Structure 1
């Protein structure tokens, strides 16, 4: 299997705004965020579909996602952290965590053709990093 863009990010071959890392999970900011703090949580093991993860990896991913979501909520004081598992754009399991204050904000679709604002992302990463 060819390395996904997320595997390349995990290996440090592609830069990212890392928020969290442990032995099994890696979390980094989405470069086209729905809202400030929107991030992706991925298992380090590259598997295309979430339902194909072994139970141990699935559990570690889920528990890390909860830990990160609670951290985002505490640090940003945003009342809601949405979770999306879409899985069609990159063949590597990934969970989107999106801080939001109202449903319209949660369903916002960012302009993915725009150049990422890395300075703004770096500021958010500094705020949210563990």
Structure 2
């Protein structure tokens, strides 16, 4: 008997779907922000960049929407943990007039964009930290 539970898409699949949607919009330019360290084969691990201008917690998706910074942290579901650094980054973008939010689907991204007419747009409150 087949399972009635629908498998949730991976975070990567959600990112791809959101990026496809965003880059279809007029006046929107969005990209995936890679924040993984550089792999060091001699150590067998990823090294962190120690540059003082490298920021921890930068959102998964960055972009411009009608000239405003867009920052979206992608999570697989609403119960996923958002790090303090991720929350602080989104809050800073929001406080400086950008569009910032946590999205678990294209519908979340669509809603974030739809409500972006005001100065401060965010859905970062109420997400697990």
Same fold (TM over 0.5): no
Q: Whose relative contact order is higher, 1 or 2, with alpha carbons under 8 Å and at least 6 apart?
A: 1
Which of these two proteins has the greater Rg computed from alpha carbons?
A: 2
Please identify which structure carries the higher helix content. 1
TM class by shorter chain equals: 0.3 to 0.5
Q: TM-score, normalization: structure 2? A: 0.34
Q: TM-score, normalization: structure 1? A: 0.34
Please identify which structure carries the higher strand content. 2
